Structure 1
Amino acid sequence: MGLRELIRTREVSAAEVEACARRALEQANGELNALTQPPFDPSLAHEPEGPFGGVPFVIKDSGPFAQGVPFTIGSRAVQGAYALVDHDLMGRFRAAGLVALGQSTAPEFGLNFATESVRYGPTRNPWNPKRGVGGSSGGAAALVAAGAVPLAHANDAGGSIRVPAASCGLVGLKPGLGRTPCGPMSGETAFGQLVEFAVTRTVRDTAHLLDAVSAPAVGDKYQAPPPARPYAEAIRTDPGRLRIALTTRPWTGGTVDPQVADAAVTAGQVLEWIGHAVTEAGPDVDGDAVVEAAMLTVVTTGGAVLRGTPRRPDPATLEGVSRRVLSETEDFTLLDVMSATEAQNGVTRSVGRFFQEHDLLLTPTLGRLPAPHGTLKYDHDGHSARSWLRRLFTYGPFTATFNVSGNPAISLPLGQSREGLPIGVQLVAAHGREDLLLQVAAQLEQAVPWRDRTPQVYVG
Structure 2
Amino acid sequence: MAPPRTPATSTTARLRSVRESTGLSEEELGVARMYAAPHVDASAATGPLSGTEILVKDLQQVEGETTGFGSPAHACTAAADDAVVRHLLSTGASLVGASVSSQFGATVYTEPALVGGGAGPVNPVDPLMTSGGSSSGAAVAVARGIVDIAHASDGGGSIRVPAAAVGLPGFKPAHRVAGGPLPDPTAQGFIAADIALTARAYGITGGGLCTAPHPDPASAVPLRLGMTTVPFHGDPGQAGPTSVDPRITAATTAAAALLVTHPRVAGVSPVPAPYPPARFALFAELMAARCASLPDPLGPMPRWLRNRGTQLTASDTAAAASAVSRLPDEVMQAWPRVDVVVTPMLACAPPPVGAFSALSSAGSPGLDFLAQTAWTPWATLWNLTGWAALSVPLVPAAPGRWPVSVHLGAVGDRVDAATLLALGAHLQAAVADLVAGDDAAAEAFTCPGPGDVEALGFRPVRSGRLHAHPHGHGHGHGHGHAQAPGHSQTEDARDR
The two structures share one fold, judged by TM-score above 0.5:
yes
Q: Offset at 1:165?
A: 1.1
- The aligned residue for residue 297 of structure 1 is 287
Task: Look up the equivalent residue of 1:107 and give its one-letter code.
Answer: S
- The aligned residue for residue 103 of structure 1 is 98
- The aligned residue for residue 268 of structure 1 is 256
Task: Look up the equivalent residue of 1:440 and give its one-letter code.
Answer: L
2:246 maps to 1:251: no
1:59-458 superposed matches below 5 A = 59-62=56-59, 64-80=60-76, 82-117=77-112, 118=114, 119-178=117-176, 191-211=183-203, 237-238=215-216, 241-252=222-233, 253-275=241-263, 276=265, 277-303=267-293, 305-306=294-295, 313-314=296-297, 318-377=298-357, 379-380=360-361, 382-383=363-364, 388-415=368-395, 419-432=400-413, 433-449=416-432
> Distance between the aligned counterparts of 1:25 and 1:369, measured in 2?
25
- Seen in structure 2, the aligned counterparts of structure 1 residues 188 and 102 have a Cα distance that, compared at 3 Å, is farther
Deviates more, 1:69-78 or 1:421-430: 69-78
Unmatched runs of 5 consecutive residues or more in structure 2:
234-240, 437-441, 443-496
> Distance between the aligned counterparts of 1:417 and 1:295, measured in 2?
39
Specify which of 34, 40, 48 is matched with residue 51 of structure 1. Answer: 48
> Distance between the aligned counterparts of 2:37 and 2:93, measured in 1?
14
> Distance between the aligned counterparts of 2:303 and 2:74, measured in 1?
13
Unmatched runs of 5 consecutive residues or more in structure 1:
8-12, 213-226, 307-312, 454-460
Q: Offset at 1:436?
A: 2.7
Per-residue deviation, residues 305-328 of structure 1 (Å, max 9, x unmatched): 34xxxxxx24xxx22222222233
- Seen in structure 2, the aligned counterparts of structure 1 residues 414 and 291 have a Cα distance that, compared at 3 Å, is farther
- The aligned residue for residue 41 of structure 1 is 36
Task: Look up the equivalent residue of 2:130 and give its one-letter code.
Answer: G
Task: Look up the equivalent residue of 2:68 and give its one-letter code.
Answer: T
Q: Offset at 1:257?
A: 0.6
Task: Look up the equivalent residue of 1:58 and give its one-letter code.
Answer: L
Q: Offset at 1:188?
A: 8.1
> Distance between the aligned counterparts of 1:45 and 1:417, measured in 2?
36
- The aligned residue for residue 310 of structure 1 is none
Per-residue deviation, residues 337-389 of structure 1 (Å, max 9, x unmatched): 0121233245333222245310100000011101111111175373466x554
What TM-score results when the alignment is normalised by the length of structure 2?
0.74
Q: Is the 8 A contact 2:192 2:201 kept in 1?
A: no
- The aligned residue for residue 10 of structure 1 is none
> Distance between the aligned counterparts of 1:427 and 1:359, measured in 2?
10
- The aligned residue for residue 3 of structure 1 is 3
Deviates more, 1:156-165 or 1:419-428: 419-428
- Seen in structure 2, the aligned counterparts of structure 1 residues 151 and 291 have a Cα distance that, compared at 3 Å, is farther
> Distance between the aligned counterparts of 1:124 and 1:40, measured in 2?
22
For the residue of structure 2 that corresponds to 1:155, the secondary structure is strand
Q: Is the 8 A contact 1:105 1:139 kept in 2?
A: yes
- The aligned residue for residue 222 of structure 1 is none
Q: Is the 8 A contact 1:154 1:199 kept in 2?
A: yes
Q: Offset at 1:18?
A: 4.5
- Seen in structure 2, the aligned counterparts of structure 1 residues 229 and 358 have a Cα distance that, compared at 3 Å, is closer
- The aligned residue for residue 17 of structure 1 is 10
Per-residue deviation, residues 58-112 of structure 1 (Å, max 9, x unmatched): 11112x33233322222344143x4443333322322333222221112222121
Task: Look up the equivalent residue of 1:390 and give its one-letter code.
Answer: L
- Seen in structure 2, the aligned counterparts of structure 1 residues 418 and 262 have a Cα distance that, compared at 3 Å, is farther
Deviates more, 1:230-239 or 1:396-405: 230-239
Per-residue deviation, residues 271-317 of structure 1 (Å, max 9, x unmatched): 123342011214422223224213323321342x34xxxxxx24xxx
For the residue of structure 2 that corresponds to 1:113, the secondary structure is coil
Q: Is the 8 A contact 2:391 2:405 kept in 1?
A: yes
When the two structures are aligned, how many residues end up with a matched partner?
A: 412
For the residue of structure 1 that corresponds to 2:37, the secondary structure is coil
For the residue of structure 2 that corresponds to 1:121, the secondary structure is coil
Q: Offset at 1:399?
A: 0.8
Identity of aligned residues (%): 25
Q: Is the 8 A contact 1:34 1:104 kept in 2?
A: no
For the residue of structure 1 that corresponds to 2:394, the secondary structure is strand
Q: Offset at 1:2?
A: 1.4
- Seen in structure 2, the aligned counterparts of structure 1 residues 84 and 447 have a Cα distance that, compared at 3 Å, is farther
Q: Offset at 1:202?
A: 1.7
> Distance between the aligned counterparts of 2:92 and 2:8, measured in 1?
13
Task: Look up the equivalent residue of 2:376 and give its one-letter code.
Answer: G
> Distance between the aligned counterparts of 1:86 and 1:448, measured in 2?
43
Deviates more, 1:160-169 or 1:261-270: 261-270
For the residue of structure 1 that corresponds to 2:126, the secondary structure is coil
For the residue of structure 2 that corresponds to 1:421, the secondary structure is strand
More relative contact order, 1 or 2 (CA 8 Å, 6+ apart): 2
Per-residue deviation, residues 375-427 of structure 1 (Å, max 9, x unmatched): 11175373466x55433111111111221222111101115799511221100
- Seen in structure 2, the aligned counterparts of structure 1 residues 294 and 404 have a Cα distance that, compared at 3 Å, is farther
Q: Offset at 1:449?
A: 4.9
What TM-score results when the alignment is normalised by the length of structure 1?
0.80
> Distance between the aligned counterparts of 2:157 and 2:357, measured in 1?
18
CA RMSD of aligned residues (A): 3.2
- Seen in structure 2, the aligned counterparts of structure 1 residues 204 and 84 have a Cα distance that, compared at 3 Å, is same
Q: Is the 8 A contact 1:74 1:120 kept in 2?
A: no
Q: Is the 8 A contact 1:107 1:136 kept in 2?
A: yes
- Seen in structure 2, the aligned counterparts of structure 1 residues 365 and 417 have a Cα distance that, compared at 3 Å, is farther
- Seen in structure 2, the aligned counterparts of structure 1 residues 274 and 50 have a Cα distance that, compared at 3 Å, is closer
